[in-house]
Structures are given as structure tokens and as C-alpha cells.
Chains A and B, each alone.
Chain A
């Protein structure tokens, strides 16, 4: 069985003014080939104006097991949202 080429994650900017968004992954020998393949695989219908590729092994991700420790503390901090504060109807522009 032959070895797979390195895996790349692909990010596409759908039009200028918007952020690049993850769309999927593909195999390529190098970054240049990854961009060329990404063009064929992910932009056949003008889905993008710019492509980022990054080696999948270079992505550092948070661990799903730690999701509670990371994200739970924000759950009870409702005072970070504007709707937490009661303002009288007649006060405008707040």
C-alpha cells in the first residue's frame, strides 16, 4: 500500500470582505499543489476569491474532553450581554 500525501485543511474566502472559512481537506505533495487541488475540489462554482491551505498536523485544537472546563465558566455570566440590564422604555438611544 502506498503512503498518503500530507493532509491539508482548506479555507475559502467566499468574497472579499468576508473571512476565510474551513471547507474541508485534501491530500497534496506540497502547499502549491494543495492550492491547485483546492481550486478544483472546492471552487468549481465560483465559491471563492481566495484560498488558504495549512498542513493538518500544524493545527492545534482544543480537546473535546476539556470543553466544559474551557467553556462552562462563561455560561453564568449573563451580565456580559446587553439584555441583562433593565432600562425604562422612555429612555432612548441606549
Chain B
């Protein structure tokens, strides 16, 4: 669900290539909208860019289970609990599709897992914010999944086949996530005074972090140009962010909630909503590991990994025993 254009580090873009060399032929295939498959020749920087992006995306799905998982036992009804379990299970599944796609590029699952657990890998900054009330579950579905869908739909046409195919599957499943979130917000917005306050509070806390999910503004985004040439990316961070703002502001109005931005206004000339300045210091602080929940999230992942160790070991021992038995019987 949650890709984020982190764009904060990485290698220089590949140098302009000889059109008849392998890099030139590769770019010609991309320009012709051909898909690249795992065993095809590809520039090393293309491979590394995709490994970084797909694994970060996978980690985001896995860590993304934590903030919502926090509310499974406290969901207000059996229906909401069943829905939330299904959603969190989907996020786990999305992580699995994406890890598999990344593995086709030559990195192992164990390496990616290690990068996540040691804190070497990045994941979407949005999951380092806490879920303080039930309304946060609604706000996450509506805003966070909404922003993720906006980011992900163009990746369904990504030049790398396995990533594009995983994304088609993910986008199909994602739509219910956003709708169930909006429905929660709608119920609260139409509810008691206390419920409306809760919904507004959730919007206040999730609005700006959701806008940051699209990554740094285009002027500061180092990889955008190369990623667009390679058709890994189809739109810039700012283009996607603007699309999200334009569709989401009217939804907030429908709910009778106020977007926490005093500078927000409709611009007749451009036919877009104009927002106030984004606090990029906050974005970089969270990305560097100093958001409200960074440590808690990683500790929860590590604890889950350790707690599951005996199950993994038992499964491997059982499989080895079965193989030995089969060999003896043969």
C-alpha cells in the first residue's frame, strides 16, 4: 500500500548512453513501452534503484501493519474488527508480493529482512506516527491509503514487469481500504459532538504527514528525472501530491471537517487548491529515525521476528525429517 518517494540518497543517474550499446538498446525498449523482465539485461543503477524502491515499499507494508494492528482488539464492533483484520492481513500480503518482486532482481529475502531489522532500510515515514484514537483508523484508511493509491496506480505501468504486476494486484485490493476508512470518518462526523471532535483531531494529526508521503518537492527530489526516464515513475512528487489534495479537500468538506491549513484556498486561475508550506524539517526528522514511534516500530518488528523464531526452526526441522524419511523409504 505504501510507497513513498524517499529520494534522499542513492547513486548518480546513468551517464548518457551510446544508442547502439546495451544501455542505449535498453532505453529504446523502455521508450517503446516494452516491459523489462528479470533475466533481461538492465543497467546496474536501474537494478539498484528498483531494489531500493521495491524493498522500501515492502518494508512499509510490513511496518504499516503495526499502527492499525494496535486497534484490532479495541475495534468498536465485530464488523469493524473483521474489516480491520482483513485490511491488516492484506498489508502483510502486499509485503509478500513486493518482497518476491524485489527478489527477482537478485537480493535475498533474508538480506532485506536484515536491512529492516537493523534499521538500515527505510520505510514510509507515515508509520512512525501513533494511532491515538479509533478515528485514526478511519483517517489512515481515508488519507494514508488514499495517498498510497495515488502513488501506486501509476506504478501499475512501471517498466519493470514483476513490480508492475505486484502493483496491479495491490491496487485492486487497496480500494476497500480507503473506502472503509472514509466510512468510519463519515460515521464519526455524523455522530455525537465527542465523535466529531475525535474525527477532527485525527484529520488534524494525519493531514500533513499524509501530504509528506509523496516525498520531497520536485526541486529537492534527486531521482525523479532518471526514474521518469526509466518509467519507474510516471508523475513527479508534486504532481501526485496536488492530485491528492484536489480530490481530498472536497471529501473533507463533505464530512464537515476542517483541513488544518489556514492558507488553504481554491485558486480559480490554476483550478487547483493551494496549500500552505509543508514542514520539511518534520519529514526529515522522522525519516532520520526521530519521529514519534520510530524506535517502537522497529522494536515491535524485532520482537515479532524473535518470537517467531521457534516456529521457523520447528518448520525447517520438520521438513528435514520428512525429507529424510522419504529418502529412507525410497
Closest CB in chain A relative to B65 CB, distance in Å:
14
Segment of B74-82, B230-238, B240-248, B313-321 engaged in the interface with chain A: B313-321
Closest CB in chain A relative to B316 CB, distance in Å:
5
Q: Return the contact of A26 from the options B86, B100, B110, B165 (Cβ within 8 A).
A: B100
Interface size on A, residues (CB 8 A): 20
Tell me which residues across on chain A come within 8 A of B323, comparing CB atoms.
30
Closest CB in chain A relative to B293 CB, distance in Å:
26
- For the complex, what is the distance from the CA of A18 to the CA of B296, rounded to whole Å? 47
**B70 interface residue per 8 A CB criterion:** no
Tell me which residues across on chain B come within 8 A of A4, comparing CB atoms.
108-110
Closest CB in chain B relative to A15 CB, distance in Å:
17
**In contact, A25 and B100 (Cβ under 8 angstroms):** yes
Closest CB in chain B relative to A38 CB, distance in Å:
10
- For the complex, what is the distance from the CA of A4 to the CA of B107, rounded to whole Å? 11
**In contact, B93 and A7 (Cβ under 8 angstroms):** no
In B8-53, the 8 Å CB interface with A consists of 37, 39-41
Closest CB in chain B relative to A22 CB, distance in Å:
10
**In contact, B93 and A27 (Cβ under 8 angstroms):** no
Q: Which residue of A lies closest to B94 (CB)?
A: A41
- For the complex, what is the distance from the CA of A19 to the CA of B89, rounded to whole Å? 27
Contact with B along A35-77 (1 / 0, CB 8 A): 0000011001100000000000000010110000000000000
**In contact, B315 and A33 (Cβ under 8 angstroms):** yes
Q: Which residue of B lies closest to A23 (CB)?
A: B169
**B90 interface residue per 8 A CB criterion:** yes
**A86 interface residue per 8 A CB criterion:** no
**In contact, B39 and A30 (Cβ under 8 angstroms):** no
**In contact, A41 and B96 (Cβ under 8 angstroms):** yes
**B103 interface residue per 8 A CB criterion:** yes
**In contact, B322 and A30 (Cβ under 8 angstroms):** yes
Tell me which residues across on chain B come within 8 A of A30, comparing CB atoms.
319, 322-323
Contact with B along A72-93 (1 / 0, CB 8 A): 0000000000000000000000
- The DSSP consensus for interface residues of chain A is loop
Tell me which residues across on chain B come within 8 A of A45, comparing CB atoms.
173
**In contact, B316 and A29 (Cβ under 8 angstroms):** yes
Contact with A along B169-208 (1 / 0, CB 8 A): 1000100000000000000000000000000000000000
Take A24-B166, A29-B318, A41-B93 as given contacts and tell me if A1 and B110 are in contact as well, using a CB distance cutoff of 8 Å.
yes
Contact with A along B297-330 (1 / 0, CB 8 A): 0000000000000001001101100110000000
- For the complex, what is the distance from the CA of A4 to the CA of B102, rounded to whole Å? 14
Q: Which residue of B lies closest to A22 (CB)?
A: B165
Q: Which residue of B lies closest to A5 (CB)?
A: B316
**B111 interface residue per 8 A CB criterion:** yes
Take A1-B111, A2-B110, A24-B166 as given contacts and tell me if A44 and B89 are in contact as well, using a CB distance cutoff of 8 Å.
yes
Some 26 contacts from A to B, beta carbons below 8 A apart, are: A1-B110, A1-B111, A2-B110, A2-B312, A4-B108, A4-B109, A24-B97, A24-B100, A24-B169, A25-B100, A25-B103, A26-B96, A29-B315, A29-B316, A29-B318, A29-B319, A30-B322, A33-B319, A41-B97, A44-B89, A44-B90, A44-B173, A45-B173, A63-B39, A64-B40, A64-B41
